[in-house]
Amino acid sequence: MKFLLKIFLAFLVCAQLIACTKEYSKEGGNHVVIPPPEPPVPPNEPVKTDTAVYVAGYYSVFRDGVFTAVSLAVIWRNGVPIVLTDSTHHARAQDVVAVGDDLYAVGFEYTDDPLIRKAMLWKNGVPTALSDGKTDAVAYSIIVDGSDVYIGGFARKGDRLNKSVATLWKNGVALSLTDGLYNAYIFSITKHGSDIYCGGSEWNRSSIEVAKYWKNGVAVSLSDGLYKNVISGIIADGNGVYASGTQTPMNTRETRQALLWNNKTRTALTDGKTHNASANAILRIGTDFYVAGMDERFAVIWKNQVPTYIADKSYWASYAADLCVFGNDFYAVGNIVLDDPSYPLYPVLWKNNQETRLENNGGGGEAFSVFVREEKK
């Protein structure tokens, strides 16, 4: 009997020892139930993206069955047109940029007066007039920096006979960079650090166009006023300011000449004697300069002054209006005329010199600007 009692007591002691090894909560001494371990969390699915290529321009439609073409402001995304205007008035989108969830385009739309255009901003397709429509105005270039939207162009002051004033709009508020004594225009803008650069031209008292840029509103001349010069594209970095442009001759013995400026040093891309040329946009990658334009009648990209013709030379004419690089791919946009000048323009995109014709509704069109980025599908 004593032996059985000893066994029973030993069993109680073991049970108590086992109970003492369990965890207790701080409240009421209740046992804490330890849940089984969570199953491993699967890794996040990679975000699927694609390359979005935006092109700004226009194509023409026939209004109300009448043989009158009306140009519609258009943005193409990966070749699919996003139409910004109806057929009430002619309109064009001159530049495009996408930031975050927002898509911006600038350009112009005519008013009921065929001599007056309104400078326009379209944000996600919603139009905003930058000018009042009483005098002529056009927006040519846009950059977005954080919450600030900068737009370059021109606006006439007073009646239609007054001069064009180089104008920079910041968040819709117009800033005049010239006094209106002579015609002046902004065709391209860029930003580096806190500095805003506006490239264009201003006429002098001899009615000769002088290539100029404005840095934070202060004018810098790049030509001497003896020949007509204009800046069509401008970029800036920590080493300086670079611009593309065109010189127009003052006599019939010379031709239009494509130009590149590197910190005020002028480089001619063509000879200005044998055929016409123009330089429309500029890009710098490392130490290499790329300029898009037209040489004779053909779309061309100059790399460090060496031309590469990107359109078929069997076309009657072609030109490159803008260019950019994204990843390992090189993009340019412009226009072609297939057979003769009576045929319509076709807006085109070149990717690594391979041509894609953009939808033009059968009525002709032009492409002026290209912007590329990666987007979620």
pLDDT at 361: 80
CB of 178 within 8 A of CB of 165? Answer: yes
CB of 137 within 8 A of CB of 118? Answer: yes
Tens digit of pLDDT at every position of the chain (377 positions): 444 334 343 444 444 433 333 333 333 333 444 555 666 656 666 667 799 999 999 999 876 655 578 999 999 999 999 999 998 999 999 999 999 999 999 999 999 999 999 999 999 999 999 999 999 999 999 999 999 999 999 999 876 668 999 999 999 999 999 999 999 999 999 999 999 999 999 999 999 999 999 999 999 999 999 999 999 999 999 999 999 999 998 877 789 999 999 999 999 999 998 899 999 999 999 999 999 999 999 999 999 999 999 999 999 999 999 999 999 999 999 999 988 776 778 999 999 999 999 998 877 899 999 999 999 87
- Compute the distance between CA of residue 217 and CA of residue 250 in angstroms, rounded to an integer: 29
Distance set, CA 78 to CA 122, 150, 231, 275, 343 (Å): 19, 25, 29, 35, 25
pLDDT at 250: 82
Distance set, CA 225 to CA 222, 249, 270, 279, 302 (Å): 9, 12, 20, 19, 26
Residue 16 sits at φ, ψ, to 5 deg, of -65, -40
pLDDT at 242: 98
- Compute the distance between CA of residue 54 and CA of residue 106 in angstroms, rounded to an integer: 13
- What pTM did the predictor assign? 0.86
- Compute the distance between CA of residue 336 and CA of residue 320 in angstroms, rounded to an integer: 9
Q: In what side-by-side order are the strands of the sheet with 164-170? A: 137-145, 148-156, 164-170, 173-176
CB of 232 within 8 A of CB of 214? Answer: no
Residue tagged 């005049």 (tokens): 176
- Compute the distance between CA of residue 85 and CA of residue 91 in angstroms, rounded to an integer: 7
pLDDT at 64: 63
Q: Which residue type does 153 have?
A: G
